[in-house]
Chains A and B, each alone.
Chain A
Amino acid sequence: MLKYVGKSEKRVDGIKKVTGYVRYTDDLKLSGMLYARIKKSPYPHAKILRIDTSKAEKLPGVKVVITGKVVPNRVGLYLEDKTFLAINKVRFIGEPVAAVAAESEEIAEEAVSLIEVDYEELPAIFSPLEGIKPDAPIIHEDLGSYKHASIILPQSGTNISNHYKIRKGDVEKGFKEADFVFENDFHVPHIQHSAIENHCAIAQVDPEGKITVWAGCQSPYAVRRTLAVAFDMPLNKIRVISPAIGGGFGAKAGTTLEGIVIPLAQQANYRPVKLSFSREDVFTNTFIRQGMYARIKTGITKDGKIIAEENTFYWDGGAYTEYGVNIARAGGYASTGPYDIPNVKADSICVYTNHPVGGPYRGFGMSEIHFAIEQNLDIVAHKIGMDPAEFRRKNALKDGSATVTGQVLENVGLMQCLDKVTEDIEWDKREKRVSKIKYRGKGIACMYKAPSMPNNVGSSAIVKINEDGTVNLLVTAMDLGQGSDTVLTQIAAEVLTVPISQISIMTGDTDCTPYEWQTVASRTTYCCGNSVKRAAEDAKNQMLRLASLKFGISEEGLELKDGQIISKIYPDKKVKIADLAMGLTMPDGSGIHGPIIGRGAFIPPDVKDTDKETGQGDKPVAFWTFGVQAAEVEVDIETGEVKVLKIAAAYDVGKAINPELICTQIEGGIVQGLGSALFEEMKIEKGKVLNPSFVDYKIPTAGDVPEMKISIIENPEPTGPWGARGIAEPCMVPTAPAIANAVFDAIGCRINSLPITAEKVLKAIKEKKR
């Protein structure tokens, strides 16, 4: 009988947050702090001919001025293609070419305006479709020499930084045998995370040369490693502290501005240097979600079985694709969506453009490809007169199905999710014409996602038992708001049989908290949760061993219950955790063992590479999460405005460690998905972001919230803690296509590109009339 796991425990960080007490990076004030500003490129693609910083250096109050010369090493998570300041050339409007640290923000700003830069403009690329042309100007001439992960396949001499292929079965044969073949195109623009906290980083160097960085980053260890590479420093000489994060969604994964403050700090006479991005800076100088063009060719039998599919995805990766290359890969190995298709050809191609930097965004490619996949399915279903939900049931992955990589699946909860959602949205009831101008419709979309991470990355946790039996839990999994602090504490509480209030979790300090690859990929409950479980079990086992020595009873005869080790047979033989925390004192007064420190580490088991040519592999990912959403919309056919009335969602989470927190995640994901469906688009013209503020980049507000009905399905993931699998990203993925399909149901018009603006809808309605 579980006591803490599976319960909707209250957030352990709630009171700190609701009182405004939590200090995010920009709230930190260090004595002697200097303020930094960056000099940005006005051109999307240009050679840097000359940078003159002399006037800036002379301005009173300016302490440090740097250019790319001080950061010569390229860095990157999956492909080392970027530098923190531009070197030799700039590749997007806004790219930092110099930086200043001064006594105040105003002085730093003025200093930046005094830096003179001469450029020679180069022809630029603003679309991946342009970037792949044989005569396209090359954005990264040295692509062939960039270090990269073995799973990434850059093409030297081109703008293609990764080309992931799936060749399963024989698509040509499949298309020949199909009764119908359809081809459809889709487009997803760049959008941005718009976490309410803007990026901020502080760096300070001490006289021994040790660097400390404070930044609200999702992945302190990834930041540490990247900085070590960038600055040729050993890892023990860099400390990364992530104080608190005001929203991540991938925006604060990897590195963004951390590398700019360090070379400033290294010349600041040990004074800390803070760089705070404005909202406009965030729009142009931090990750954006990659744009994507998709073409899907589908061959089906007349009774609705998909037997062949050819997917081509062109990703607009932006100026640097150190992260984006893996998004393209993820798009590739998930390319058909959660469906069982025997013959698949997929090409997922990451292309450089002179747009701001593409990077990880909640979903990691899944939202983008599912917008295409799920609308495509809908189109095909309608063309053969089949109900879209039925069509999905017919083709869905089930236990024993093989994915596009040939992985045979078990514990597939997709059908249960589909059944629950069609029930909750009342799929068979349609009230189409509410009035002369208001039409309603319902649409459905399925999804799946696996954590996209290298096969061999790990998590770890440390459990310290205090002298009074309370516990300190150390991890570097970051709570971005998703509630990991709470869930990980619940896991420790469950194993140690100690109330949650007696466990304090600490995260985000690479000097003290143990290694965590990154807080991304919906991997935290699964990976770090397993680590915490193991660490707690390690502590428990040490205490069992000591108790066994104490009582002379074998370990099998003892159990940990309600904070005590107690004999299963002799209930008077018991000892509190507190009395074993510092070791065991023997009858003769001597002590043994010492303080109890539990260690746990975890790498997902047996995850292997796929074949470079065919993309085939029997376990390319740790687990798959399946989910379904359905939307009911109302369209004003005179203005084209779409209102989302209701969203029903069901996800197979394996085991809900904290059901309420899962629901809150899903609600947030739905509303974020709604934003991407209806409003959000970075309007970039010739490389310039035209809407770098909330005035013209609109995200959902309280009035946009639809009715939401959320269901949790639990088919345990065998390798997850109590069966848990990830949910953080899946909950945003199917919202946009569900809405698009609902719009089609309402008005009979397809909107093949996001966002589904009133303008597009009205245009489609008018064209249909003609």
Chain B
Amino acid sequence: MKEFEYLKPDSIKETISILSQFGEKAQILNGGTDLIVDMRDKIIQPEYLVDIKAIPQLNRITYNKQDGLNIGATVTLNEISNSKVVQTNYPILVKACKTVGSYQVRNRATLVGNICNASPAADTAPPLLVLEAKVNIIGPTGEKIVPINQFFTGVKKNILKKGEIVTSITIPPIKDKWTGVYLKQGRKKEVDLATVGVAVVCIRDEVRIALGAVAPVPVRAFKTEELLKGKTIDESLLEKAGKSALTEISPISDVRSSQEYREEIIKVLVRRAILQAKGGHIL
């Protein structure tokens, strides 16, 4: 790794000031599980590393029925998976967090880090999309809230501007009974990147669908959701849903999978996720 200066601010204000000052030359060090690999491979060579783990507000999980769930920037994936509050109220998020890497990685990797890294295959992204999460950002111009839908702007690109950091993610409360499913297809069942990821949330008759690893950014399948609106879910509708999902994505062939296989799997996983969310069995 190239030499750099290590800074450890203990306030958000200080962090923003550092990031604004150094711009491209600075990188945030959160969990480090993506960043340190990139630094070792010389893909990213920052001159300043800003460790945000000493900022007290960022490591909290809070929940109440009115405001929903708030997860701070430095909360690790294991902390989320082990949180009773998340297990009880948002089990789909627990499922997604647990599919990232290994237990060791999840002790360091963070939810916010996962979305800021903005890999098209990020496991936490599809569930956050169907939960309609909001990203809380603070920057030199003040605070703002960005719907998760708008947060990803390209492959490994997010909407953050110079000097801005994500302080937390808010998952709004769902006022009705609901179920959520996250299905991940990889080359192996564990410790693998997603070749395809599908998240579905069903709130009464509403079905929300999000797809990962099949487009430059993780996407909500709005057209497919529209197709399902108000209709009874049966085999033929599920088949139509799978085909419709294909029209909302643009999968590629890469070292992990071919485009054709991704297209096949999307159809299968969309069908299975909806079925499972609706309480049915995949068989």
Contact = CB atoms under 8 A, between A and B. Distances in A.
A638 B266 CA distance: 11
A435 B283 contact: yes
A762 B268 CA distance: 12
Contacts of A701: 188, 190-191
Nearest to B196: A639
Interface string B56-72: 00000000000000000
B13 interface: no
B187 A762 contact: no
A683 B282 CA distance: 33
Contacts of A758: 187, 261
A691 B258 CA distance: 15
Contacts of A762: 261, 264
A690 B255 contact: yes
Interface of A: 435-438, 638-639, 679, 683, 690-691, 695-696, 698, 701, 703-704, 757-759, 762-763, 766
Contacts of A696: 255-256
Given A696-B255, A696-B256, A762-B261, A638 B268 contact: yes
Contacts of A679: 187-188
Given A639-B185, A698-B192, A701-B191, A683 B255 contact: yes
Interface string B247-264: 000000001111011001
B261 A703 contact: no
Contact of A698 (B187, B261, B268): B187
B189 interface: yes
Given A639-B185, A691-B255, A436 B283 contact: yes
Nearest to B185: A639
Given A437-B283, A683-B255, A639 B189 contact: no
Contacts of B188: 679, 698, 701, 703-704
A479 to B, nearest CB: 28
Contacts of A759: 257-258, 261
Nearest to B262: A759
B265 interface: yes
B283 to A, nearest CB: 4
Contacts of B193: 695
Contacts of B189: 703-704
B221 to A, nearest CB: 19
Nearest to B257: A759
A545 B189 CA distance: 65
A690 B256 CA distance: 10
A763 B256 CA distance: 16
Contacts of A683: 255
8 contacts: A437-B283, A638-B268, A639-B268, A683-B255, A696-B255, A704-B189, A758-B187, A762-B264
Interface of B: 185, 187-193, 255-258, 260-261, 264-265, 268, 272, 282-283
A191 to B, nearest CB: 14
> Which 10 A-B residue pairs are closest in the complex by CB-CB distance?
A759-B261, A436-B283, A435-B283, A638-B268, A690-B255, A703-B190, A696-B255, A698-B187, A698-B188, A691-B255
A534 B189 CA distance: 50
Given A679-B188, A698-B192, 9 more contacts: A638-B268, A639-B185, A639-B265, A683-B255, A696-B255, A701-B190, A703-B189, A762-B264, A763-B261
Contacts of B261: 758-759, 762-763
A435 to B, nearest CB: 5
B78 to A, nearest CB: 18
B235 to A, nearest CB: 11
Given A435-B283, A762-B261, A757 B187 contact: yes
- Most B C-beta atoms less than 10 A away, residue of A435, A639, A757: A639
A759 B255 CA distance: 13
A498 B160 CA distance: 73
Contacts of B268: 638-639
Contact of B282 (A437, A690, A703, A766): A437
Contacts of B190: 701, 703
Nearest to A435: B283
B189 to A, nearest CB: 6
A438 B268 CA distance: 14
A437 B269 CA distance: 13
A154 B266 CA distance: 51
A679 B283 CA distance: 25
A701 B187 CA distance: 12
Contacts of B257: 759
Contacts of B185: 639
Contacts of B265: 639
A766 B264 CA distance: 10
B244 to A, nearest CB: 18
Contacts of A437: 282-283
Contacts of B282: 437
B226 to A, nearest CB: 25
Contacts of B256: 696
A437 B283 CA distance: 7
